[in-house]
């Protein structure tokens, strides 16, 4: 049974596309047939993060309008045979994604894929609502920062009132928290909300904590999902996320400051 997962946040710049790319790659690497869809009409970026920007011919809107079929628009990832990318339209206006059209495309994808990862645009406009509407699961990407936490809570409200599952009184969407751009040093010094603080407010199932990491920018520069950088802290934190999403138990990592030198090791036991 296919699952549709929306990566959402409300606020921009918190790491939705990075997360969508990492999660889709992580699921596909484990052998699940996965497609990742960019819902950000006019501001497409997933193709860049996935490193397939030069292979885009047709897009999501072309498929909805019947100008191309799904197989023509889907781009097969060169690193993982189970992963496909459906890019957003760069030129059309936001109404290109009709609810009926999106529903039909997702229905078609559900026949062939195990996981459909929807990369939502920021905000609560049409594109974001479309990305959320058909979701079975939602990953709310949040930074430990006041406006991001508030916007995440707002998105939870929308998920529980405007999604298909809510409107049809179906089983509610499973909601998960992903805390990103986390700096254990700043949390320890009291300048940044800690993971417990954010969880106390949002009360969500925590999938992973992604540390603020150079690896994320390096990965997007290269067009490689950061989860493929297996040596990096962010890559490992994303691997944990995928494992936990699939039901594995893994202890949370990257919550503590790196221990430096003999002096602090002596004092911190």
Partner 1 sequence: MGLLDYFRAPSGARKGSASVAKERLQILVAHDRAARDRPSYLPRLQQEILAVIRKYVEIDNDAVSVHYEQEDKYEILELNIVLPEADARS
Q: Which of 48, 201, 206, 252 binds partner 1 (CB under 8 A)?
A: 201
User: Judging by beta carbons within 10 Å of its beta carbon (0-12, 13-18, 19+), is residue 91 exposed, middle or buried?
Assistant: exposed
Which window, 19-27, 50-58, 107-115, 191-199, contacts partner 1 (CB under 8 A)? 191-199
Q: Which of 6, 21, 128, 193 binds partner 1 (CB under 8 A)?
A: 193
220 neighbors 48 (Cβ within 8 angstroms): yes
- Closest approach of partner 1 to the CB of residue 44, in Å: 31
260 belongs to the binding site for partner 1 (CB under 8 A): no
In the block, tokens 């397939």 appear at: 52
267 belongs to the binding site for partner 1 (CB under 8 A): yes
239 neighbors 210 (Cβ within 8 angstroms): no
Which window, 120-128, 171-179, 197-205, 220-228, contacts partner 1 (CB under 8 A)? 197-205
- Closest approach of partner 1 to the CB of residue 175, in Å: 15
Q: By CB under 8 A, how many residues form the interface with partner 1?
A: 23
- Closest approach of partner 1 to the CB of residue 149, in Å: 6
The CB-based long-range contact list for 149-152 (8 Å cut-off, 24+ gap) reads 149/193, 149/198, 149/201, 149/202, 151/9, 151/10, 151/11, 152/9, 152/10, 152/11, 152/177, 152/202
**Strands ordered across the beta sheet of 174-182:** 75-76, 83-86, 34-38, 115-119, 3-8, 137-142, 174-182, 205-211
| Of residues 141-160, those binding partner 1 (CB under 8 A) | 145-146, 149-150, 153-154, 157
Helix, coil or strand: residue 66: coil
66 belongs to the binding site for partner 1 (CB under 8 A): no
Cβ distance to partner 1 smaller for residue 146 or 262 = 146
Residues interacting with partner 1, by CB under 8 A? 145-146, 149-150, 153-154, 157, 161, 187-194, 197, 200-201, 264, 267-269
């Amino acid at each position: 049974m296919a699952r549709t997962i929306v990566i959402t946040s409300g606020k921009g710049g918190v790491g939705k596309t990075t997360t969508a790319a990492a999660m889709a790659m992580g699921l596909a690497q484990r052998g699940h047939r996965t497609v990742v869809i960019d819902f950000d009409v006019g501001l497409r970026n997933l193709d860049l993060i996935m490193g397939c920007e030069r292979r885009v011919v047709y897009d999501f809107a072309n498929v909805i309008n019947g100008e191309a079929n799904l197989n023509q628009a889907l781009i097969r990832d060169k690193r993982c045979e189970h992963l496909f990318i459906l890019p957003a339209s760069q030129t059309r206006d936001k109404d290109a994604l009709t609810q009926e059209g999106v529903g039909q495309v997702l229905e078609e994808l559900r026949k062939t894929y195990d996981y459909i990862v929807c990369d939502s645009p920021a905000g609560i406009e049409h594109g974001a609502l479309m990305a959320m509407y058909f979701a079975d699961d939602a990953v709310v990407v949040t930074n430990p920062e006041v406006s991001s936490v508030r916007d995440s809570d707002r998105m939870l409200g929308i998920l529980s009132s405007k999604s298909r599952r809510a409107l049809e009184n179906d089983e509610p969407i499973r909601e998960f928290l992903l805390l990103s751009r986390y700096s254990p040093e700043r949390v320890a010094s009291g300048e940044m909300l800690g993971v417990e603080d954010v969880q106390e407010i949002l009360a969500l199932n925590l999938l992973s904590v992604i540390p603020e990491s150079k690896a994320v920018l390096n990965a997007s520069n290269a067009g490689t999902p950061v989860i493929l950088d297996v040596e990096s802290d962010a890559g490992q934190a994303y691997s944990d996320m995928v494992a936990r999403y699939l039901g594995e138990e893994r202890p949370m990592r990257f919550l503590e400051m790196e221990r430096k030198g003999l002096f602090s090791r002596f004092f911190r036991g």
